[in-house]
Amino acid sequence: MAPDRSRKLGRKSVLEKRVVELIRTNDIVLLSALQAELAVHGVEAVVLDTHTSIMEGSLGVLPRRLMVVDTDAFLARRIVAAFQEDHA
């Protein structure tokens, strides 16, 4: 949802709330898959450090972080654990 529309509806975006880290990885495919899986279950997630990771080149030194709103953290951790178990 666009930031201006969510404010009109009285909602805050994920970046305007307190967020917690779910996972830190260099695997962009895993991050994308987890973000999609969380969305299926109604959990909004955001990937941080994308631009920092790009700036350092292809060395893979700086991992990206998948973040969720702290109130969704318990559910999100269960979804991530189930996803990783199913795709191990």
pLDDT of 16-40, one tens digit each? 788 999 999 989 899 999 999 999 9
Kindly list the strands in the beta sheet with 19-25, ordered across the sheet, starting from the edge strand earlier in the chain.
19-25, 64-69, 45-48
pLDDT score at 1: 45
Nearest residue to 71 (alpha-carbon basis) of 5, 26, 18, 3: 18
pLDDT of 57-88, one tens digit each? 666 678 899 999 999 999 999 999 999 999 87
Nearest residue to 26 (alpha-carbon basis) of 50, 55, 10, 42: 50
70 within 8 A of 30, measured Cβ to Cβ: no
Bridge partner residues of 48 (DSSP): 65
Find the largest Cα–Cα distance for the chain.
42
